[in-house]
Structure 1
Amino acid sequence: MTHGILGSVAPKLLVPHWIDEAGQPRSPLTLTELGPRHRVLFFYQHWCPGCHSHGFPTLLALIERSTPDDVGFAVVQTVFEGVEVNTPEQLIHDQKRYGLRIPFGHDTVSQDGLYPTTMVNYRTGGTPWFVIIDPAGTVIENGFSIDANKLPTVFGKQT
């Protein structure tokens, strides 16, 4: 199976559980709510060492190199294993741990017992996984690692 959906229109988010920028429960987030600009989705699991050693630092660097007018961000815990550890309650802990004031979602194993909708729809290879969507709604970057230093050019800015 080929991972990622580079060049495809980004699928709707079907994540059922969300907290807002302040850690409060909120209705399901849509890509439209992230604005008509570039959007970055970061998929992770609470217990994933690479998510904490590489993924979150990369996410923080992307946020630091952008402005809210240029890029909308959301984080989704895609639980395909470790359901007893990767719980919705962990969202607020990870949000606070990294000082992130962006929405966090929790997408767990589907009713058929396979993978979360985000993993299926975005064809992720696991976690951490980044997806960057351009203002037209097309996935322009996706994968386990994103070079935060080259992203300002992707967002239309030179560093």
Structure 2
Amino acid sequence: MSTDQRQAPELRVQKWIDHDGGAIAPLTLSDLGTGPKILFAFQHWCPGCHLHGFPTLQKLHRALGPKGVGFAVIQTVFEGADENTFETLRVNQLKYDLPLAFGHDEPPTGQTLPTFMEDYRTRGTPWFTVIDAGGRIVFSDFHLDADTLIADLGRA
């Protein structure tokens, strides 16, 4: 497990859809509420995202969404831009029945990594980042134990 404990950078992802698939303005961390936040990074073509990442996210959202935990899903397009498209956001939102904001993060002109990967120091997908209510990154890694996180946040 990677713990960072630094202040979470503001999101710089520019393209988003809301819980119903409609385009929305860029999301900020404060848009996710004042409590803990879970950010999930994926790629549409990533087998691990579909096999492990999205099912873990579904479990977390079902258990913690009603308790005020904020969620956002970000497609980090560091490869495969032809398959990991803005249109696939809605496909995955519907497939996994996740009424959450989904962002599409391609590298800005002249850069090789998407802003989320750069700012949050992620190393691929599926990737979970957990931010505490104070805005500090408390978890950032590939594998998240959903049951442990649900228990920990349930006690908070």
User: So what's the TM-score if we normalise by structure 1?
Assistant: 0.93
Runs of 4+ displaced beyond 6 Å: none
Length, aligned pairs only: 156
- CA deviation map 1:91-124 (0-9, x unaligned): 0000000011000000002211400000000000
Change (3 A) 1:39 1:157: same
Which of residues 20, 23, 28 is equivalent to 1:22? 20
Superposed, 1:1-159 pairs within 5 Å as: 6-157=4-155
- CA deviation map 1:39-85 (0-9, x unaligned): 00000000000000010011011112213342010000000000011
SS in structure 2 at match of 1:137 = coil
Say if 1:13 and 1:29, in contact at 8 Å, map to a contact too. yes
Deviation at 1:152, TM superposition (A): 2.1
- Higher mean displacement: 106-115 or 76-85: 106-115
Say if 1:4 and 1:124, in contact at 8 Å, map to a contact too. no
The letter for the 2-side match of 1:51 is: C
Say if 2:33 and 2:68, in contact at 8 Å, map to a contact too. no
- CA deviation map 1:16-58 (0-9, x unaligned): 1000011100000000010000100000000000000010011
SS in structure 2 at match of 1:67 = helix
Structure showing the higher helix proportion among its residues:
2
Say if 1:70 and 1:155, in contact at 8 Å, map to a contact too. no
- Structure 2 regions of 5+ residues with no counterpart? none
The letter for the 2-side match of 1:65 is: A
Say if 1:4 and 1:122, in contact at 8 Å, map to a contact too. no
Cα distance in structure 1, aligned partners of 2:31 and 2:20: 16
SS in structure 2 at match of 1:66 = helix
Change (3 A) 1:81 1:50: same
Say if 1:5 and 1:122, in contact at 8 Å, map to a contact too. no
- Higher mean displacement: 62-71 or 3-12: 3-12
Q: Percent identity?
A: 47
User: So what's the TM-score if we normalise by structure 2?
Assistant: 0.95
Deviation at 1:156, TM superposition (A): 4.2
The letter for the 1-side match of 2:42 is: Y
Deviation at 1:142, TM superposition (A): 1.1
